[in-house]
């Protein structure tokens, strides 16, 4: 190859023009680029040789920039489409020289190289075959154009998305589209699952674009900064299988319950109990009202208890879309930030609930007690009721103190009688403080943590619900109706003299609590040792617990004298299917309460808390369980000094990280002694440390 020949080569992956200077050995050449730099090239690295004629047949490297400027004038991609339309008629192949003559009516070094550039860069109209370029078919061109347009659109969307990221991180306002959210999904998955995320690489690419570290913590913070997540996003909930929202078809199905309700299959059997005064008693924040209480005065002057339970099965059939979704959920999920209901809330808090001053459908339990509190007679009926009083527990406490409601006073007498009877039957009473954690997300995540008092009004309602559960179990056993039963094996409690040596109050109660066995659910009635009942079934929360809903369907079918909707085998399969969902919900509830409890302590770092040492979890490691008495919080805590069960502590919060589930305390009266407490990250391990907490 002669000196001064202009060639296109590939240098470091780029196409470059160089001028041949001289041979280098037997096979190579020395060439000079436009900047005067020397390169050793092999003939196979040459893409195209530019042939010139006349006096300018030889080039120097100084001419390369001006040559490229001339070529640039001919690089119009649309001209290639014109050539394709001409050549496709006869399916005629072409080369750079022929294309130059066809397009520009001029064959020169400039037009020939321009044609080569058009052909070599083309991905749509021509395909190379040897030294020739053949026109693609019309169908191929159409498809390639479509692909190119789609790729260009994706590129535009990506550029717009990246611009939104930049704008938002700089404090500007943006509107996220569905396309944007799908791109951000990879960031969410990475923040939730770390290295196990399927699209980890895409998430890290986003983090790299935003000049952030490539880890899940950085992904979480970026989502917060982008306004996608809140600072307190519930990652445990997002990692779970709990559906957070209802599909559109379920919302539509719920709406049909208002506009076109299914026929009431108990209509002819429903007993009109609207003449009874019905009290519904719940927390003020409760929206799903599923139980009410009444007293009926009989002809002989005796008093009969009525326990009315909401009848959600009035509004749906087994295997309907709403039923299948409720079965998938298994339960409503109660979080400090709010409730994820088992049914759409418009339905759950609407026609399914017992609403004040409205005629409502119910399954009502009539119970006569004997003089010691045992069930003497009972009846279960489908009913119509009209709640008269929507009361809170505080309302009931006040009304009982004032004695202004005779029926409420009588319910209280029956509750005391029932409690004494159950204790006589072996019921195990445990009185440990409990805590209510509430977060008002509409008011800047305002956090309240209150000690729930074990008031008599709560005991009253609990006794009536337990009574309904006992009656339901008796009814199912007597009539051979398969329903889910709740049972609890007898625990091995410490000897009485051992218990009496412990300080009274929370320490002694906790010692009993640690011995309690876990409750179970099954189709065979067995003793519930904690409640002191030979058989017990949960039927009082059918809006919130799917197992209660199953019992309602079975009992109502029996009352109609129709075949039961579920066999024992079917119920067993359903209970096994919903068990993981219920476990998942329980775990998320515990984790959420723990997170916000730590956040409460973080926000109140300057407060000195009165604490009580309940027991050792692992004494050899100095790991104790303490109770912060004003809050009702039970927390593991490492104490590096001599201390006895029942001793009082005054502790102050140090560093807290709710996200990492870690907190450090220091004892207020010993400022030089730092006590460390590390929350167990795995909920199973924590639960094993102090069984039923």
Inform me whether the pLDDT recorded for 691 exceeds 80: no
For residues 543, 546, 549, 551, the Cα torsion angle rounded to the nearest 10 degrees is -140
Residue 249 half-sphere exposure toward CB, CA atoms < 13 A: 6
Question: Is residue 61 very low, low, confident or very high in pLDDT (cuts 50, 70, 90)?
Answer: very high
Q: How far is CA 463 from CA 410, 415, 418, 555, 654, in A?
A: 13, 6, 7, 22, 42
Question: Are the CB atoms for 210 and 165 separated by under 8 Å?
Answer: yes
Q: What is the pLDDT of residues 210-243, one digit of tens each?
A: 999 999 999 999 999 999 999 999 999 999 999 9
DSSP percent split of the chain into helix, strand, coil, nearest 5: 40, 25, 35
Question: Are the CB atoms for 452 and 432 separated by under 8 Å?
Answer: no
Residue 421 half-sphere exposure toward CB, CA atoms < 13 A: 20
Q: What is the pLDDT of residues 545-573, one digit of tens each?
A: 999 999 999 999 999 999 999 999 999 99
Distance of alpha carbon 209 from alpha carbon 191, whole angstroms: 16
With CA atoms as reference, report the closest residue to 324 among 258, 261, 247: 247
Q: What does the block give as tokens for 413?
A: 């007498």
* Longest Cα separation, the chain: 131
Inform me whether the pLDDT recorded for 613 exceeds 60: yes
With CA atoms as reference, report the closest residue to 633 among 433, 418, 397, 343: 433
Query: DSSP readout, 470-506?
Result: HHHHHHHHHTT----EEEBPPP-PPPHHHHHHSPTTH
Inform me whether the pLDDT recorded for 685 exceeds 80: no
Distance of alpha carbon 381 from alpha carbon 308, whole angstroms: 10
Question: Is residue 444 very low, low, confident or very high in pLDDT (cuts 50, 70, 90)?
Answer: confident
pLDDT, averaged across the chain? 92
With CA atoms as reference, report the closest residue to 375 among 484, 464, 456, 296: 464
Which residues, 6 or more positions from 8, have their beta carbon under 8 angstroms from its beta carbon? 15, 16, 17, 46, 47, 48, 49, 50, 113, 116
Least confident of 104-118, 406-420, 442-456, 481-495: 442-456
Predicted confidence at residue 689, as pLDDT, reads 43
Q: State the burial class of residue 551 (Cβ atoms within 10 Å of its Cβ: 0-12, 13-18, 19+).
A: buried
Predicted confidence at residue 669, as pLDDT, reads 62
Inform me whether the pLDDT recorded for 124 exceeds 90: yes
Please give the share of the chain, as a percent, with pLDDT higher than 90. 84
Predicted confidence at residue 464, as pLDDT, reads 98
Q: What is the pLDDT of residues 620-642, one digit of tens each?
A: 988 999 999 999 999 888 888 89
Q: State the burial class of residue 3 (Cβ atoms within 10 Å of its Cβ: 0-12, 13-18, 19+).
A: middle
Inform me whether the pLDDT recorded for 52 exceeds 80: no
Cβ count within 10 A of residue 422: 22
Q: Please give the model's pTM, rounded to 2 decimal places.
A: 0.81
Mean pLDDT of 390-394: 95
Q: What does the block give as tokens for 356?
A: 């004040």
Inform me whether the pLDDT recorded for 661 exceeds 60: yes
Q: What does the block give as tokens for 131?
A: 């030294």
Helix or strand run (H / E) with residue 121: helix 109-121
Inform me whether the pLDDT recorded for 439 exceeds 70: yes
Inform me whether the pLDDT recorded for 693 exceeds 70: no
Question: Are the CB atoms for 536 and 528 separated by under 8 Å?
Answer: yes
Distance of alpha carbon 462 from alpha carbon 291, whole angstroms: 11
Mean pLDDT of 513-520: 92
Query: DSSP readout, 118-173?
Result: HHHH-SSSEEEETTEEEEPPHHHHHHHHHHHHHHHHHHHHHHHHHHHHHHHHTT--
Distance of alpha carbon 467 from alpha carbon 487, whole angstroms: 15
Question: Is residue 671 very low, low, confident or very high in pLDDT (cuts 50, 70, 90)?
Answer: very low
Beta strands in 386-484 (DSSP E): 387-391, 434-440, 446-452
For residue 274, give the DSSP letter: T
Distance of alpha carbon 657 from alpha carbon 527, whole angstroms: 43
Please give the share of the chain, as a percent, with pLDDT higher than 70. 96
Question: Is residue 1 very low, low, confident or very high in pLDDT (cuts 50, 70, 90)?
Answer: confident
């Amino acid at each position: 190859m002669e000196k001064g020949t202009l060639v296109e080569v590939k240098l470091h992956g780029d196409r470059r023009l160089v001028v041949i200077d001289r041979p280098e050995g037997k096979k190579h050449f020395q060439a000079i680029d436009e900047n005067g730099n020397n390169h050793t090239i092999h003939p196979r690295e040459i893409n195209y040789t530019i042939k010139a004629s006349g006096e300018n047949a030889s080039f120097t490297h100084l001419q390369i920039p001006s040559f490229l400027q001339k070529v640039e004038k001919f690089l119009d991609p649309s001209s290639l489409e014109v050539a394709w339309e001409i050549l496709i008629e006869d399916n005629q192949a072409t080369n750079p020289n022929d294309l130059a003559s066809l397009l520009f009516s001029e064959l020169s070094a400039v037009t020939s190289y321009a044609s080569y550039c058009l052909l070599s860069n083309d991905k749509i109209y021509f395909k190379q075959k040897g030294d020739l370029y053949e026109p693609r078919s019309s169908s191929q061109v159409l498809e390639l154009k479509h692909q190119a347009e789609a790729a260009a659109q994706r590129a535009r969307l990506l550029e717009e998305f990246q611009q939104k990221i930049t704008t938002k991180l700089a404090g500007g306002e943006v509107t996220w589209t569905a396309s944007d959210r799908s791109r951000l999904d990879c960031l969410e998955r990475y923040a939730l699952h770390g290295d196990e995320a399927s699209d980890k690489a895409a998430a890290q690419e986003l983090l790299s674009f935003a000049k952030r570290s490539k880890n899940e913590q950085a992904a979480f913070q970026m989502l917060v900064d982008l306004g996608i997540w809140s600072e307190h996003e519930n990652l445990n909930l997002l990692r779970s299988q709990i559906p957070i929202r209802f599909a559109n078809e379920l919302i539509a199905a719920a709406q049909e319950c208002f506009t076109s309700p299914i026929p009431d299959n108990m209509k002819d059997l429903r007993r009109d109990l609207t003449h009874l005064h019905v009290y519904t008693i719940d927390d003020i924040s409760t929206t799903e009202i599923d139980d009410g209480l009444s007293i009926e005065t009989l002809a002989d002057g005796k008093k009969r208890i009525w326990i009315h339970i909401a009848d959600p099965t009035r509004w749906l059939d087994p295997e309907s879309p709403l039923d299948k979704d409720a079965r998938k959920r298994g339960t409503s999920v109660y979080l400090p930030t709010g409730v994820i209901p088992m049914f759409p809330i418009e339905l759950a808090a609407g026609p399914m609930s017992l609403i004040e001053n409205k005629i409502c459908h119910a399954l009502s339990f009539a119970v006569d007690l004997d003089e010691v509190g045992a069930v003497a007679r009972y009846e279960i009926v489908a009913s119509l009721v009209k709640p008269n009083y929507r009361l809170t527990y505080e309302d009931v406490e006040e009304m009982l103190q004032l004695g202004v409601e005779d029926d409420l006073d009588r319910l209280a007498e029956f509750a005391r009688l029932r409690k004494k009877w159950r204790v006589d039957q072996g019921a195990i009473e445990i009185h440990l403080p409990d805590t209510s954690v509430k977060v008002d997300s509409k008011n800047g995540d305002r956090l309240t943590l209150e000690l729930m008092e074990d008031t008599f009004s709560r005991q009253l309602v609990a006794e009536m619900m337990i009574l309904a559960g006992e009656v339901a179990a008796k009814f199912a056993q007597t009539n051979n109706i398969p329903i889910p039963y709740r049972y609890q094996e007898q625990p091995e409690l410490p000897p009485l003299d051992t218990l009496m040596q412990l300080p009274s109050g929370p320490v002694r109660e906790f010692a009993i609590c640690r011995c309690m066995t876990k409750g179970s659910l099954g189709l065979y009635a067995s003793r519930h040792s904690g409640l002191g009942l030979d058989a017990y079934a949960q039927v009082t929360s059918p809006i919130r617990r799917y197992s209660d809903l199953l019992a309602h369907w079975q009992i109502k079918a029996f009352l109609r004298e129709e075949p039961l909707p579920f066999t024992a085998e079917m119920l067993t399969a359903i209970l096994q299917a919903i068990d993981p969902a219920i476990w998942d919900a329980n775990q998320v509830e515990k984790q959420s309460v723990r997170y916000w409890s730590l956040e409460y302590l973080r926000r109140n770092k300057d407060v000195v808390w009165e604490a009580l040492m309940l027991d050792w979890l692992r004494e050899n490691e100095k790991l104790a369980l303490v109770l912060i008495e004003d809050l009702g919080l039970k927390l593991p805590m490492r104490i590096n000094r001599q201390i006895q069960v029942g001793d009082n502590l005054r502790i102050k919060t140090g560093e807290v990280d709710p996200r990492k589930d870690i907190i450090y305390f220091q004892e207020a009266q010993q400022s030089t002694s730092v006590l460390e407490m590390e929350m167990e990250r795995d909920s199973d391990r924590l639960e094993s440390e102090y069984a039923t907490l």
